[in-house]
Amino acid sequence: MEKSYMIYGVGFLLSYIFFKFRKGLVLGKNKKSLRNKVVVITGASSGLGEGLAHEFYKEGCLVVLCARRRQELDRVRNDLLSLPSSEQRHPPVIVPMDLNDTEDLPNVVKKILSITERIDILINNGGISHRGSVIDTKLDVDIRIMTVNYFGSVALTKAVLPYMVKEKSGKIVFISSVQGLISIPGRSSYAASKHALQAFADSLRAEVSHHNIGVTIISPGYVQTQLSMNALTATGQTYGKMDATTENGYTCEYASKEMLKAIVENKNEVVLAPPTARIGIFLRHFIPSLYFLAMVKRAKKLMVK
C-alpha cells in the first residue's frame, strides 16, 4: 500500500520535472528564433515599452523605438548600447511618432521600412490613461484617449499589414489592460479604448491567420510605470500623481519578460495580473450582478474622496 503511493509520488515528480524541462527547452528554442528580427515598439520612451525594448534587444533583435519624446528615446537607445554583451547586437533605431497624428502613421511605417527593410513584430504599446468621472470629463479628453490608445494602434497596424501579408509572416501585439476586460469607475475612456482594442484584435486574428500572421493581446494589471503620472484628468490636464496601485504593481522588468515569453509562445491572449484582477474578470462574466455591486461601492468611495 505505502509502496504504491511512493511509486505514484516519484512518477508524478519525474513527469513534473520532465515537463518543466521541456517547457524550458521550447522557450529557449523560441527565443533563439527572435535573433535578427525587426521589432517595432511604440511607447518605447518609458515604462513597459522601454522594458520591452530591453528584453527584445537582449535577444538579438533590431528594435525600432517609437514615441513622441526624442530625448527619452535617445536615453533608452544609449542605455541599450551600454549594456554589456558578449555577442554582436543590432544598434536600436529611433523613429519618433505621435499616435494622435493618425494620418501621418503610414509615413512613419514607410520611414521604418526604408531603414530596416522588414518589420517582423509590431508591438502596439504606447498609450495614456484617464482619471475622471464621465460627467466631468470633457469630450475632447475622451476623443484624445481613444485616438492615441485605439485609432493610433489601428492606423499603425493597417499600415504594417500589407507588408506582413506580402511576406506571409509577422506578428502584431497589443498591450491592452485588465481594464480592456473589466471597467472600473473613474477610467471610462481608458477602459473603453482598451475594450475596443480587444475586439479589434479578435477580429484581426481570425482574418490574418491564413496569412501566417499572429495576433497576441496582453492584458497587464498594475505595473510600476509613469502611466498614472501621465494620465489625463477630466479637463485634459496631466494627473501628475503616482497611484499607490501603480507603485505596488509588477516591476517593468518582470512584466516585460513575461510579455516576451507570451509573444514567442504565440499566445492569442494573456492576462498578466494577480488573482484579485482575475477574480474581477471572472465575476464580470459569470456573476455580473456581484461585479456591478462591487463597482458601485468602489465609485462611492471615489466620490467621498
Phi-psi region at 118: left, alpha or beta (left = phi > 0; alpha = psi -120 to 50) = beta
* Helix, strand, or coil (residue 271): strand
Cα 251 to chain centroid, rounded:
14
Work out how close the CB of 31 gets to ligand NAP at its nearest, in angstroms, rounded to a whole number.
Answer: 22
Q: Which is nearer to ligand NAP, 49 or 170 (CB)?
A: 49
Of the candidate residues 34, 47, 122, 216, the single one contacting ligand NAP (CB under 6 A):
47
Are 236 and 144 within 8 A, CB to CB? yes
For residue 102, state whether it binds ligand NAP (rule: CB under 6 A). Answer: no
Q: For residues 281 and 271, what is the distance between their CA atoms, to the nearest angstrom?
A: 10
Of the candidate residues 93, 94, 99, 191, the single one contacting ligand NAP (CB under 6 A):
99
Q: Which stretch binds ligand NAP (CB under 6 A): 6-14, 19-27, 219-227, 297-305?
A: 219-227
Q: For residues 95 and 116, what is the distance between their CA atoms, to the nearest angstrom?
A: 11
For the chain, the C-alpha Rg in angstroms (whole number) is: 21
Q: For residues 267 and 95, what is the distance between their CA atoms, to the nearest angstrom?
A: 28
Q: Which is nearer to ligand NAP, 189 or 225 (CB)?
A: 225
| Residue 224 vs residues 220, 254, 271: alpha-carbon distances, Å | 11, 10, 17
Q: For residues 66 and 58, what is the distance between their CA atoms, to the nearest angstrom?
A: 18
Residue 232: which H helix or E strand, with range?
Answer: strand 232-233
Q: Which is nearer to ligand NAP, 36 or 78 (CB)?
A: 78
Of the candidate residues 60, 72, 167, 198, the single one contacting ligand NAP (CB under 6 A):
72
For residue 223, state whether it binds ligand NAP (rule: CB under 6 A). Answer: yes
Phi then psi for residue 90, to 5 deg, are -80, 125
Of the candidate residues 37, 116, 122, 127, the single one contacting ligand NAP (CB under 6 A):
127
DSSP at 238: B
Indicate if the alpha-carbon torsion angle 238, 239, 244, 246 is positive or negative: negative
Work out how close the CB of 44 gets to ligand NAP at its nearest, in angstroms, rounded to a whole number.
Answer: 6
Site map 152..191 versus ligand NAP, x via CB under 6 A: -----------------------x-x--------------
For residue 226, state whether it binds ligand NAP (rule: CB under 6 A). Answer: yes
| Footprint on residues 238-267 left by ligand NAP (CB under 6 A) | 246, 249
DSSP bridge pairs for 132: 187
Of the candidate residues 52, 67, 122, 123, the single one contacting ligand NAP (CB under 6 A):
67
Site map 133..152 versus ligand NAP, x via CB under 6 A: ---------------x----
Are 256 and 51 within 8 A, CB to CB? yes
For residue 214, state whether it binds ligand NAP (rule: CB under 6 A). Answer: no
Q: Which is nearer to ligand NAP, 30 or 100 (CB)?
A: 100
Q: For residues 279 and 277, what is the distance between their CA atoms, to the nearest angstrom?
A: 5
Q: For residues 242 and 258, what is the distance between their CA atoms, to the nearest angstrom?
A: 24
- 250 classed as catalytic: no
For residue 230, state whether it binds ligand NAP (rule: CB under 6 A). Answer: yes
Q: Which stretch binds ligand NAP (CB under 6 A): 7-15, 199-207, 217-225, 232-240?
A: 217-225
Interacting residues with ligand NAP (CB under 6 A): 42-43, 45-49, 67-69, 72, 97-100, 125-128, 148, 175, 177, 220, 222-223, 225-227, 230, 246, 249
**Active site residues per annotation:** 190
